[in-house]
Amino acid sequence: MPGSKYTRQNVLSVKHWVADKLISLTTTRDPEFQFTPGQFARLGLPQSTEGVQPDIWRAYSMVNGPASETLEFYSIVVPEGEFSPRLAQLQPGGHLYVDKTAFGFLTLDRFDAGGTLWLIATGTGLSAYMSMLYDERVWRDYRRIILVHGVRNTDELAYRDQLLEWEQAGEAQSVDSPRARLSYHPIPTQQNLPGTPRARLTALLADGGLERHVGCALDPATSKVMLCGNPDMLTDARKLLSERNFAVGRRGNSGNLALENYW
Ligand SMILES: Cc1cc2nc3c(=O)[nH]c(=O)nc-3n(C[C@H](O)[C@H](O)[C@H](O)COP(=O)(O)OP(=O)(O)OC[C@H]3O[C@@H](n4cnc5c(N)ncnc54)[C@H](O)[C@@H]3O)c2cc1C
């Protein structure tokens, strides 16, 4: 598609984490499509099954790392949504349109390196963090990475095996290793997970329960926090964190808070 703002990619695989609710797709990747982990692509699909031009577009964070030869996306399926039910119908060999430009500012460039990086997500907000973790940079730049994933039910804990693998690799490394250690904290609100508080992330932020559970204080001098996913959670969490001296960077000053609303 010369002169076009987008490319057409082939779907390689589709994984259904929860039937009719959560899927991951991998596609081919245009070698010229470049992005920084945490950024998102605009994905397009035709409205009708006969259509050959994309006319519905939605933002999706890349799950894959920047060096991967394929693209991966993790999606909710909103039954009444225009885009996601169509995305969920794609099969290997189908086509997905990808804007040639990647967008977004939820990247590690927002922070000065060092200290503890808190990656806090609800639901599919995890996608942006997976991309960062598939890249070497985050493991070099921080001493500790704390990933908190809020979901309703335990079956929504996508990418759990990969996250546990990274966590265990950190436990096995020597104490003086310069590589960051990841601690992974899934927090379901509707089901019990042994050893895990059953509460909303914002409630746990407000009463200190998250810091107790994780075993680390949210210190604005040494911690950087990313928030991604549900806009209500982000608004409340941002307010709570701003009362504790966390702020988004402005005009070249790097802050210690960065966020991305998914709707
Ligand atoms: C910067 C950015 C990055 C995004 N990255 C992702 C991603 O990686 N994965 C992903 O699934 N979605 C992501 N989204 C949301 C995505 O663009 C679509 O909105 C979503 O897939 C639903 O599309 P839809 O047309 O079916 O429904 P829409 O008409 O777009 O949304 C309908 C309603 O569904 C709910 N909703 C939308 N998205 C979500 C979601 N992700 N989780 C829970 N409820 C939701 C909201 O209540 C919304 O009003 C992102 C959005 C933005 C702005």
The model's pLDDT over 179-191, given as tens digits with 9 standing for 90+, comes to: 999 999 999 999 9
Measure the CA–CA gap between 39 and 56, rounded to whole angstroms. 20
Percent of the chain's residues with pLDDT above 70: 99
Q: Which domains does the chain have, with CATH numbers?
A: 6-99 (2.40.30.10), 108-261 (3.40.50.80)
Encoding tokens for residue 166? Answer: 């990274």
Does residue 50 surpass a pLDDT of 90?
no
Model pLDDT for residues 69-124, shown as the tens digit of each residue: 999 999 999 999 999 999 999 999 999 999 999 999 999 999 999 999 999 999 99
CA of 175 to the centre of ligand 1 (A): 40
- Order the strands of the 257-261 sheet from edge to edge: 181-188, 144-151, 116-122, 223-229, 257-261
pLDDT band at 45 (very low <50, low <70, confident <90, very high): very high
Atom of ligand 1 nearest to the CA of 77: 26
Q: Shortest CA distance to 230 belongs to which of 76, 113, 98, 112?
A: 76
Counting ligand 1 atoms within 8 A of each CB, the residue from 22, 27, 56, 76 with the most, and so the one to mutate, is: 76
User: How confident is the model over 201-224, as a mean pLDDT?
Assistant: 97
Q: Can you tell me which atom of ligand 1 is nearest the CA of 81?
A: 26
Which one-letter amino acid corresponds to residue 167? E
User: What secondary structure letter does DSSP report for 218?
Assistant: -
- From the CA of 234, how far away is ligand 1's center (Å)? 15
Q: Is the pLDDT of residue 1 over 80?
A: no
Residues 150-159, mean pLDDT to the nearest whole number? 98
Residue-level pLDDT at 257? 98
- Going from the Cα of 262 to the center of ligand 1, the distance in angstroms, rounded, reads 6
**Residue 243 binned pLDDT confidence (cut-offs 50, 70, 90):** very high
Return mean pLDDT, the chain: 96
Rounded to an integer, the average pLDDT of 230-234 is 97
How many C-beta atoms surround the C-beta of residue 253 within 10 A?
9
Q: How many CB atoms lie within 10 A of CB 177?
A: 11
Can you spell out the DSSP letters for 12-44? EEEEEEETTTEEEEEEE--TT----TT-EEEEE
Residue 144 vs residues 37, 62, 106, 162: alpha-carbon distances, Å: 18, 23, 19, 17
Ligand 1 pocket check for 127: Cβ under 6 Å: yes
pLDDT band at 252 (very low <50, low <70, confident <90, very high): confident
**CB of 20 sitting under 6 A from ligand 1:** no
What pLDDT, on the 0 to 100 scale, is given for residue 188?
A: 97
CA dist., res. 63 & res. 229, Å (int) = 14
Q: Which two tokens stand for residue 91?
A: 């099969």
| Centroid of ligand 1 to alpha carbon of 112 (angstroms) | 30
pLDDT digits (tens, 9 = 90+) for 6-39: 999 999 999 999 999 999 999 999 999 999 999 9
| Closest C-alpha residue for ligand 1 atom 51 | 262
CA of 158 to the centre of ligand 1 (A): 16
CA torsion sign, 50 to 56 to 100 to 61?
negative
Please tell me the number of Cα atoms within 13 Å of 180 on its side-chain side: 25
User: Is the distance from the beta carbon of residue 129 to the nearest atom of ligand 1 less than 6 Å?
Assistant: no
Neighbours of 241 (CB within 10 A): 23
Ligand 1 atom 36: residue of nearest CA? 263
Q: Which residue has the tokens 């509707």?
A: 190
- Atom of ligand 1 at shortest distance to CA of 59? 17
Neighbours of 245 (CB within 10 A): 12
Kindly state if the Cβ of 122 falls inside 6 Å of ligand 1: no
**What average pLDDT does the segment 46-58 reach?**
89
Residue 82 alpha carbon, nearest atom of ligand 1? 25
